[in-house]
Structure 1
Amino acid sequence: MTQVELPDPVIRHPERPDVDLDALTRALRDRVQGEVRFDRGTRAAYSTDASNFRQVPLGVVVPHTPDDAVEALAVAREFGAPVLSRGGGTSLAGQCTNTAVVLDWSKYCTELESVDERARTCVVQPGIVLDELNRQLAGTGLRFGPEPATHMNCTLGGMIGNNSCGATAQRTGKVVDNIARLEVLLADGTRFWCGETTDEEYAELERHGDPRAAIYRQLRRLRDEYAEEIRRRFPDIPRRVSGYNLDSLLPEHHFDVAGLLIGSESTLVTVLRAELKLVPVLPERTLVVLGYRDIATAGDAVPAILPHEPVALEGVDHKLIRDQQIKDMNPQALAEMPEGRAFLMVQFAASTHEEADRQAQTMLDALQDTEHEADVAFLDDPAREHELWQVREAGLGATAHVPGKADTFEGWEDSAVAPERLGDYLRRLSELYQEFGYASDTGPSLYGHFGQGCVHTRIPFDLYTADGVATYRRFMERAADLVAEFGGSFSGEHGDGQSRGELLPKMFGDEIVTAFGRLKAIFDPDDRMNPGKIIAPYRLDENLRLGGDWAPADPQDLHFRFPDDGGSFAQAANRCVGVGRCRQHSTSGSDVMCPSYQVTHEEEHSTRGRARLLFEMLDGHGDSPVHDGWRSTEVRDALDLCLSCKGCKTDCPANVDMATYKAEFLSHHYEGRPWRRPRSDFTMGWLPAVAQIVGRLRAGKVVNALTHTPGLRRLATLAAGVEHREVPLFAGETLQQWFARRGTLADGARGTVLLWPDTFTNTFHPHVGQAAVRVIEDAGWRVTMPLNPLCCALTWISTGQLGAAKRILTRTVRELAPHLRNGGLVVGLEPSCTAVFRSDAYELFPGDQDVRRLRAQTVTLAELLTEHSPGYQPPRLDAKAIAQVHCHQHAIMGWDADEQLLEAAGVDAEHLDSGCCGLAGNFGFEKGHLDVSEACAERVLLPRVRDAAPDTAVLADGFSCRTQLHQLDSGGREGVHLAELLEFGLTKRDAR
């Protein structure tokens, strides 16, 4: 046999590629069936992942099929352009950011192509999201085992590139343990399926003499030359993710080329398809939470628990719990925790509930009267278990931006050691924090997959100054020495990328790192696949998203004061940590954000994408593709499909508030040039003023006739610059006019409340306000109402007309001040207007005491009747309802009080996981938004309403939600307000 020579390692440092971008773009558009985007906005949106690093891509290709990606790589090869294959873009080590052509698989290449239930395998395209895959597999009783905390938005291609794990890896192992075969593409165009290779299969390959055979010969030579060093230097621990999987080539691992390529972070090949191994679903779960005095003691107990074979064994410390309490995350779950300052969450699973409970009890019996005995919370209620699991999965976001604490960052966020050495490692790591000044009672939390020795943390690195960055580097080097001393892995889950690529010689030694370089040269000798990551890496303090030279143009002439970000718009835009929770694909989640992404699957139309554009708009590095500051058309276009639903304010782990950022941006974007505004900004923004005039003149019938006559209706919508939708009908009498005529009828033993006559209730749906008055009075309150024309300024805020909004809101607050200063409550019926009083007003005027009172004393109807009316019993309804919770209520007020009140009234209410209805105030009426508006409603809301039984009430407190149901195909069903539902109960009661 001919002697095989191994190539020299790839060792050169990558430079910015010299590529004719115009010609490359034209060639891609001519030859690739897919979306080719080299515009400035797209490049900005893809400039970073969830890491500390930033590199602006050359452009983005969104292939329609795997074959389109093959052609895209062929074009890139002809132009000498590097390529980065990207999944969900949530990588924490910088492997998903590069000056390259980015392949984004997540929009179209999402097919589950085949399932073999007998073999327990399936074939998938790389863009399919893990939760969606497991949803489609549900009928088979099988699932893909590894499940990272980002399971709702991570793609299988990204998981393969990263060798992902998650909590379930305690049972199922890493991705490398769950792949049968991969179809891969090399930078030179070589394409083949690979997996384990027997000697017979290898001999057959040799006879072919094709490029694949040449690669396999070199791989075998590489294995033979380095086999003993691989066995000696590769840590024998469950969570070795750092480095390339050279151990997969060893005979004991059956020369598994697919296993070798897993975790290679797009630096060796592009994965086109994958054949996955599946595991049976264990339907019954039992969770035991063990409380210990500190996190290291909890780590000490892990070896005693492992013999009982839990399917997950997670650790969290009291700091993670405290951070979530500060941010009011998972409050019900946190109340379930046992005593202690550190906790192990031990989950057992079986085919029966009794078997899962038995396993848990056996473990507890074994721990009793030992040094590892703990305070115990034994949970076998699925709802409680899910809530507690949310505590652990929320770790990254919960620790990113905590009020009163320094920002924390990744970098050393997933180191791993042998589980039996975990306690000692945690002690030494804590000492290292102390030495570098990172430790304090408010310092970094420690948590992670303790059953496999993997430790997660975010550290308050100072990445804003040169000295801070230098200290970060010294810490990383010392931490790497510590893990190497423990025989561990720098990465136990998130990969090396740029964060740890430079440090690999400390873990593996120079000889193995040389072997890594030779492996890279076998697959990618020209260094075109994700250059600068793992091999010949950029320095860990290079290409930082922040860094000592970050100098953003932080605007000072702001309307919103951003009190949670120190008054800084730059810090607000920097809130996004890139975990991609906004990239929700499933229709079974409880998140509202991000409606436009849910229907477009466009990065630019996710909360994360918009945050990236705003960050780039501030041009902190001087090379941003987004220019013109507040005048940026790229940012305007990205924000155009933001529904201002405020879902991200609550659902985003970092509490990014894109609705507020959008309003601030639009205000400055059109400042001094109102003629550039869309006409709908004026017609929808000034709607409350028009409505007040119509109501005062009692001209509703005339306006209704004009706007609902077919020909005139079309002219009216054209003139207003809005979509051709039905214009809501004005009421013949406003709520204020009805109340002035009716007067106050109840004495109010409980006191007096002010019912806020918002524009939508007052002029369009006064029957809702009338119902509320009756219900509130029945509860023992005296109702009062301002009769002057007032407004919360919601529509001016949402259209970014903030100067007018502040004037209008100031007038309203002064009018309400006497009632507020007497301690009176304000009851809001329209959730969006109530949210202005509870949130926006404070963020515009954080120092105004009357605004602070308004924020504290504004309540929803349900909050009034549950929290402020002790002993109140609502009328019995004994009915069923489905509830479309308004997105602003979800984000600001929550629905807990409503749920409690409905339960007390005997209403079996299902809270729909439908997110935003899609109308979102003015959004669904604005030109060019109708398709997105309808698509949002069709995801869950409309199908669920159509399928509901005729006697099921459709509860929708939001005027927008009721309007959307009325105007779209809802099967003739109309939404009702909570006040109307309760009034119906009063009518039934009084009729008895």
Structure 2
Amino acid sequence: MTTDLPDPVVRPVTPEVDVTALESALRARVAGEVRFDAGSRAAYSTDASNFRQVPIGVVVPRTPEDAVQAIAVAREHGAPVLSRGGGTSLAGQCTNTAVVLDWSKYCHQVESVDAEARTCVVQPGIVLDDLNRHLAPTGLRFGPEPATHMNCTIGGMIGNNSCGATAQRTGKVVDNIAALEVLCYDGTRFWCGETGDEEYHRIEHRGDRRAEIYRQLRRLRDRYADEIRARFPDIPRRVSGYNLDSLLPEHGFDVAGLLVGSESTLVTVLRAKLELVPVLEHRTLVVLGYSSVDKAADAVPAILPHEPVALEGLDSKLIRDEQIKHLNPEALTQLPRGRAFLMVQFAAKSPDEADAQAHTMLDELRDSDHHADVAFLDDPDREKELWRVREAGLGATAHLPGRPDTFEGWEDSAVAPDRLGDYLRRLSALYAEFGYASDTGPSLYGHFGQGCVHTRIPFDLYSAGGVATYRKFMERAADVVSEFGGSLSGEHGDGQSRGELLPRMFGVDVVRAFGQLKAIFDPGDRMNPGKVVAPHPLDADLRLGSDWSPADPQGLYFRFPHDGGSFAEAANRCVGVGRCRQHATSGGQVMCPSYQVTGEEEHSTRGRARLLFEMLGGHAGGPITDGWRSSEVREALDLCLACKGCKTDCPANVDMATYKAEFLAHHYRHRPWERPRSDLTMGWLPLIAQAVSRTRLAPVVNALTHTPGLARLATSAAGVEHRELPRFAHQSLQQWYARRGPRGSGARGTVLLWPDTFTNLFHPHIGRAAVELAEDAGWRVEMPRRALCCGLTWISTGQLATAKRVLRRTVRALAPHLRQGGLVLGLEPSCTTVFRGDAPELFPGDHDVRRLRGQTVTLAELLTQHSPGYRPPSLTGTEAVAQVHCHQHAVLGWDADEELLRRAGARVRRLDSGCCGLAGNFGFERGHLEVSEACAERVLLPALRETGPGTAVLADGFSCRTQIHEFDSGGHEGVHLAELLATAIRRGTGAPVR
């Protein structure tokens, strides 16, 4: 054995870190943000894996130099360090008891682009989609694209050696790196890449620490070259282990390639020089249907010679899971017949060329054993829909109703593509052996063109026996994939899930080389310790585990029917995929508005879910110890707009608005004096507004709240932000209707129009327009005469005991109408959402509430789904943009509105703007104005500034109209769908509103 190499790193005794001194030194010397508070530590306690380790503290560097200084301080105090990107790792490499560096908030600059050389230099925190948008004018892009492309960072991709579907064309990250600037724990800093003999000798002659590293790397390569060539699988997707093969002469002694995929265990990446590929504009997608997923895999070798740019596989179980969750419903109809599918994409410089490649492949398959049912798509919109089917895999397979929870662990093994069919048959047999296989068992999908298989398995990680079985399965599965000459990981890395299994794949000698490599760069094991080398056991540090015993609260207001009545299960819904960390200004996603503005982990849905999980105290010594009274949880939830976007946009359907309301109800229980004053003024707004209306004081109140000086006194007294308050209507909708009464034939029956607080007392003209429309469509309209409320404002402020009393009274009043099968017409999306969403979760066993949920309709639903043959008034020639209310997006949907407007002949563009930022009471609460306006400034307000004055702005939500009224400098005013259509009726008849 060569003696001039260091001994492999073994798990050392972790030295005690003086946390107080460490924090003080970091604050004194690092310009970035330093956080050692319980809330921040809780938010970073886990990633998207099975593991949980509470960090020592978190540093958010503003520049790479801040990170250099932070590591210097950590070194002086002996503290371990973990460099983290988007935090979506599935193998546990982004959770550790260490100082966590979060690059994603500030260090996202593109420092240079050389289009001629097809390279760019970036900081590690830049998100992949943001980078590719920046590069778009050059016609270039960074090639690898994981399913998390909208929120994964380049630094994280480098750490994991990420791939994605596009790796079929472009390869893994290691194949697309020109050079890296790296920092060792000891402070050594250098750029590295391929190293020719001349450059190597230049480095060696310096005689510094870098020279010592390079000499030792050469010795390591020379010592193990034969073993590396023999034991490293020759397959497209070998991600497990360190890239020792990059040191071989045939790979140019590529030190950057060696460090790619090292999961923050060797160095910290400060900057990266990336190799770029041309964008191929024209794409054609062919979907092939097969009788089973292994038969689909058998066809892969026959397809590869046609050089598709992507070749993905998925089985019918994934489709079933997406149908259960109502994901991508339109796209699922585009699939051919079969129980498993291959998505084969071709790309070229022209549509004809891409189509020709596809037809050539189909001609050859037709005459082979791999003939399939075919769906041929060359419509970009349809293609994007189907790719969303594939990218939704992780979310679709997690937390299915009535099914055991599924987990990662064996989620990305890889073999040679020509052995994939056989491997899937063996893997399915292993599922059956361990009791994981059934008709409702794990789905199989992945990057079949490169032999990589994704899956989530219903491991029992709640009991000692289940955890023991999980370990046995992992060991057996590692042996099976090794028999096939495959890799434990084909995409997500080793981390803690597979670190201890590496000897089964690589053998003792190569794993010893991994340990010596670790010792070359990090002899003290301070870089992300316990991962890959000297790993913690795969059944240690589990986020759940047999000792997880959360204090599941009793006396809940919401009943959490989708989580077995358990708040702990609800808080545990988050799988960490990070879709809530959206950076783009488009994409049709509402969540998470506050994260989009602040870039703070604890302001993402994921971060808040982590704090709630920690609040329940399932593990001894957690960072949050005061339960419902936690100030850290309250602060994290403070900037939650309760937009409900996560209820739909989150692949695990985390419903943070509901969790926030439940938390606030318990946090202030028996302590009403601690509540912000705005909870009383905004929460009790329906009663205040009713009092103003009954006493005919609207003109007086409006004058007081809109007179300079007095207006400021009014907002101060109400405890709200100093912004324009909505005006009360002089006559309420109910008062107008009581004088007018019902009209029309009522040929279609009777519909009850719900007089929500905002329509009734602030914007009654919308209600009058809706009455006119419904009667024109043949409905008889009735309206409650009593003052009723859905309870929305009490729900959103967490005054749930009052909300339930108010809502129960309303349901009793509506029950006779509901029991006769009558429809309830909602005009305000947030109030309509209470009937369709919140009420059934507050009263899941109440049959009248169930009727209310099923019989409440929007105006568009009434006129399209319940009014057969109805022809809406003509809006031909009308141009409009639509700001869809976030609750409508999340719960009600906008499909019926889109259909109705299409029938009317309007040309409407839905703004990709997400939440307007007001979100009911949020934008009026003290301390929220800046975030509220910033949310609107992301997309909505800039889009309105570019919208001509003759274009209508559809905004059914009262909050959206209020936000537009106050902040749009172009003078647009939002109009409700009812107003737009009623205007068309009047235009056609010349009649005024009745």
Q: After TM superposition, is the score higher than 0.5?
A: yes
Indicate the SS of the match to 2:786.
coil
Candidates 481, 486, 509, aligned match of 2:484? 486
- Check whether the contact 2:182–2:189 (CA below 8 A) recurs between aligned residues: yes
State the match for 1:791 in structure 2.
789
Relative to structure 1, the CA distance from residue 383 to residue 764 in structure 2 (aligned partners, 3 Å threshold; closer, same or farther) is same
Indicate the SS of the match to 2:42.
helix
State the match for 2:82 in structure 1.
84
Q: CA deviation at 1:139?
A: 0.3
- Check whether the contact 2:833–2:892 (CA below 8 A) recurs between aligned residues: yes
Q: CA deviation at 1:15?
A: 4.8
Candidates 724, 749, 772, aligned match of 1:726? 724
Residue by residue over 1:950-969, the C-alpha shift from the partner in whole angstroms, topping out at 9 and shown as x without a partner, is: 21111100000000001113
Mapped partners of 1:29, 1:609: distance in 2: 23
Mapped partners of 1:588, 1:280: distance in 2: 23
Amino acid at match of 1:932: V
Mapped partners of 2:215, 2:315: distance in 1: 49
Amino acid at match of 2:897: D
Residue by residue over 1:199-235, the C-alpha shift from the partner in whole angstroms, topping out at 9 and shown as x without a partner, is: 1111111221121111101000100010010000000
Mapped partners of 2:345, 2:21: distance in 1: 55
1:110 and 2:108 aligned: yes
- Check whether the contact 2:62–2:106 (CA below 8 A) recurs between aligned residues: yes
State the match for 2:622 in structure 1.
624
State the match for 2:236 in structure 1.
238
RMSD of Structure 2 on Structure 1 (CA) = 1.0
- Check whether the contact 2:145–2:164 (CA below 8 A) recurs between aligned residues: yes
State the match for 1:935 in structure 2.
934
- Check whether the contact 1:223–1:246 (CA below 8 A) recurs between aligned residues: yes
- Check whether the contact 1:820–1:850 (CA below 8 A) recurs between aligned residues: yes
State the match for 1:229 in structure 2.
227
1:137 and 2:164 aligned: no
- Check whether the contact 1:9–1:519 (CA below 8 A) recurs between aligned residues: no
Amino acid at match of 2:548: W
Mapped partners of 2:412, 2:911: distance in 1: 36
State the match for 1:888 in structure 2.
887
Amino acid at match of 2:959: S
Candidates 761, 769, 778, aligned match of 2:776? 778
Q: Superposition pairs for residues 509-520 of structure 1, below 5 Å?
A: 509-520=507-518
Q: CA deviation at 1:255?
A: 0.3
State the match for 1:419 in structure 2.
417
Mapped partners of 1:947, 1:468: distance in 2: 58
Amino acid at match of 1:736: Q
1:43 and 2:41 aligned: yes
Mapped partners of 1:905, 1:254: distance in 2: 65
Q: CA deviation at 1:264?
A: 0.0
Amino acid at match of 2:514: F
Q: CA deviation at 1:14?
A: 4.8
Indicate the SS of the match to 1:188.
coil
Mapped partners of 2:15, 2:763: distance in 1: 61
Q: CA deviation at 1:686?
A: 0.1
State the match for 1:920 in structure 2.
919
- Check whether the contact 2:5–2:220 (CA below 8 A) recurs between aligned residues: no
Mapped partners of 2:413, 2:238: distance in 1: 9
Indicate the SS of the match to 1:415.
coil
Mapped partners of 2:554, 2:397: distance in 1: 28
State the match for 1:391 in structure 2.
389
Indicate the SS of the match to 1:227.
helix
Indicate the SS of the match to 1:882.
strand
Indicate the SS of the match to 2:413.
strand
- Check whether the contact 1:14–1:531 (CA below 8 A) recurs between aligned residues: no
Mapped partners of 2:513, 2:154: distance in 1: 27
Residue by residue over 1:49-69, the C-alpha shift from the partner in whole angstroms, topping out at 9 and shown as x without a partner, is: 000000000000000000010
Residue by residue over 1:270-302, the C-alpha shift from the partner in whole angstroms, topping out at 9 and shown as x without a partner, is: 000000000000011111110000000000000
Indicate the SS of the match to 1:414.
coil
- Check whether the contact 1:9–1:515 (CA below 8 A) recurs between aligned residues: no
Amino acid at match of 2:397: T
Q: Superposition pairs for residues 502-901 of structure 1, below 5 Å?
A: 502-878=500-876, 879-901=878-900
Amino acid at match of 2:909: E
Residue by residue over 1:694-722, the C-alpha shift from the partner in whole angstroms, topping out at 9 and shown as x without a partner, is: 11112110110111121211111111110
Indicate the SS of the match to 2:341.
strand
Residue by residue over 1:115-143, the C-alpha shift from the partner in whole angstroms, topping out at 9 and shown as x without a partner, is: 00000000000000000000000000000
- Check whether the contact 1:4–1:217 (CA below 8 A) recurs between aligned residues: no
State the match for 2:29 in structure 1.
31
1:165 and 2:163 aligned: yes
Relative to structure 1, the CA distance from residue 682 to residue 15 in structure 2 (aligned partners, 3 Å threshold; closer, same or farther) is farther
Amino acid at match of 2:498: R
Mapped partners of 2:313, 2:224: distance in 1: 37
Identity rate of aligned residues, in percent? 78
Amino acid at match of 2:785: L
Amino acid at match of 1:986: I
Mapped partners of 2:797, 2:213: distance in 1: 59
Residue by residue over 1:851-894, the C-alpha shift from the partner in whole angstroms, topping out at 9 and shown as x without a partner, is: 00000000100111111111111111121111100000000011
Residue by residue over 1:49-99, the C-alpha shift from the partner in whole angstroms, topping out at 9 and shown as x without a partner, is: 000000000000000000010000000000000000000000000000000
Runs of 4+ residues deviating >2 angstroms: 3-17
Mapped partners of 1:369, 1:693: distance in 2: 79
- Check whether the contact 2:2–2:223 (CA below 8 A) recurs between aligned residues: no
Amino acid at match of 1:139: P
Amino acid at match of 1:959: F
Residue by residue over 1:361-388, the C-alpha shift from the partner in whole angstroms, topping out at 9 and shown as x without a partner, is: 1111110031100011111111111111
Q: CA deviation at 1:358?
A: 1.0
Mapped partners of 1:329, 1:666: distance in 2: 31
Mapped partners of 2:864, 2:128: distance in 1: 40
Relative to structure 1, the CA distance from residue 820 to residue 6 in structure 2 (aligned partners, 3 Å threshold; closer, same or farther) is farther
Q: Superposition pairs for residues 406-485 of structure 1, below 5 Å?
A: 406-485=404-483
TM-score when normalising by structure 2: 0.99
Mapped partners of 1:287, 1:748: distance in 2: 50
Q: CA deviation at 1:4?
A: 9.0
Residue by residue over 1:621-675, the C-alpha shift from the partner in whole angstroms, topping out at 9 and shown as x without a partner, is: 1121011110111100000000000000000000000000000000000000100
Deviates more, 1:947-956 or 1:540-549: 947-956
Deviates more, 1:352-361 or 1:524-533: 352-361
Candidates 287, 310, 313, aligned match of 2:311? 313
Amino acid at match of 2:639: L
Amino acid at match of 1:769: G
Q: CA deviation at 1:12?
A: 2.6
Residue by residue over 1:321-369, the C-alpha shift from the partner in whole angstroms, topping out at 9 and shown as x without a partner, is: 0000001000000011111100001111111111111111111111003
Q: CA deviation at 1:988?
A: 2.0
1:295 and 2:282 aligned: no
1:496 and 2:494 aligned: yes
Listed as ranges, the gaps of 5+ residues in structure 1 are none
Listed as ranges, the gaps of 5+ residues in structure 2 are none
State the match for 1:956 in structure 2.
955
Q: CA deviation at 1:780?
A: 1.0
Amino acid at match of 2:510: I
Indicate the SS of the match to 2:778.
coil
Q: Superposition pairs for residues 334-413 of structure 1, below 5 Å?
A: 334-413=332-411
- Check whether the contact 1:666–1:799 (CA below 8 A) recurs between aligned residues: yes
Mapped partners of 2:375, 2:91: distance in 1: 35
